[in-house]
């Protein structure tokens, strides 16, 4: 479906189901230079199991128009604008990497709009190495290759996909390559520059689930521990033999963890 947000057409995958105001809402937020397809298995499952699903193409990504916001807080404000345009009073948020920080910012600053929060492949601070950032700024293909290499654990490089017919490395690499000049750099810069994580954590009023990969080289599990400690009562699921693309590498476990939590 397409929704007009701030005079811009925005795409959201709904899992093939029509909106039902009697159902709870679930929004998926992808990471830097990715799009709604990252959530293919989870979004379709929940759309057919009691939720209104909106797997967004964030502005400037995928099928959505508009410019990429300048900061994580601006991206969170944009998601609120999407909710207003779609007529959603509140929703559960699931975010990956850049999307996890966006969800955190939104839940902390607009607590009445968020019922539950799932943060996947997250860290705070989400520090990005200078070499990687510079390569992304140059739109150097090496930046795309580094991101995909670091985002997948070794079994994923060997083709051990839980989704029949899916080539995880190739699919992710093409998505990032096709994202457009500057898209990866802008996303990485937003993550690197975001400073409000602990303030948002202190303001949370909803239940929180963390889903991490034990071999995540992009957002290493140890880099999430201070944020986890700052959110009293949060739940953490650690996925074994899993990198940064948790919802693709361990699709079934992510889905099961979300189902139990939601």
Give 182-203 pLDDT, tens digit per residue.
999 999 999 999 999 999 999 9
Q: Has residue 168 got a pLDDT over 90?
A: no
What confidence tier does 163 reach under pLDDT thresholds 50, 70, 90? low
Report whether pLDDT(214) > 80: yes
* Whether residue 166 has pLDDT greater than 80: no
Phi-psi region of 243 (alpha: psi -120 to 50; beta: other; left: phi over 0): beta
> What local confidence, expressed as pLDDT, does residue 243 receive?
96
Interatomic CA distance for residues 254 and 251, integer angstroms: 5
The values of phi and psi at residue 209, to 5°, are -120, 130
pLDDT value at position 164?
64
d(CA 172, CA 176): 6
What integer pLDDT is reported at residue 156 of this predicted model? 83
Domains of the chain, start order: 2-261 (3.40.50.1820)
Cβ–Cβ < 8 Å for 177, 141? yes
pLDDT for position 167: 80
């Amino acid at each position: 479906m397409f929704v007009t947000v701030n005079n811009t057409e925005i795409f959201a995958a709904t899992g093939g189901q029509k909106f039902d105001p009697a159902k709870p809402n679930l929004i998926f937020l992808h990471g830097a230079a990715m799009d709604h397809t990252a959530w293919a298995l989870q979004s379709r499952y929940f759309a057919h199991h009691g939720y209104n699903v909106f797997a967004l193409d964030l502005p400037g990504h995928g099928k959505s128009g508009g410019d990429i916001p300048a900061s994580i807080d601006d991206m969170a404000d944009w998601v609120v604008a999407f909710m207003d345009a779609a007529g959603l009073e509140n929703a559960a948020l699931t975010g990956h990497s850049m999307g996890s920080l966006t969800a955190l910012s939104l839940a902390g600053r607009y607590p009445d709009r968020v019922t539950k929060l799932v943060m996947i492949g997250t860290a705070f601070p989400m520090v990005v190495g200078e070499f990687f950032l510079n390569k992304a700024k140059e739109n150097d293909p090496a930046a795309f290759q580094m991101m995909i290499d670091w985002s997948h654990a070794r079994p994923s490089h060997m083709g051990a996909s839980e989704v029949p017919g899916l080539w995880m490395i190739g699919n992710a690499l093409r998505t990032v390559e096709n994202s457009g000049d500057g898209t990866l750099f802008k996303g990485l810069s937003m993550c690197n520059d975001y400073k409000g994580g602990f303030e948002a954590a202190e303001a949370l009023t909803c239940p929180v689930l963390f889903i991490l990969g034990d071999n995540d080289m992009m957002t290493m599990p140890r880099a999430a521990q201070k944020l986890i400690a700052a959110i009293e009562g949060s739940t953490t699921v650690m996925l074994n033999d899993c990198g940064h693309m948790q919802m693709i590498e361990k699709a079934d476990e992510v889905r099961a963890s979300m189902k139990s939590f939601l």
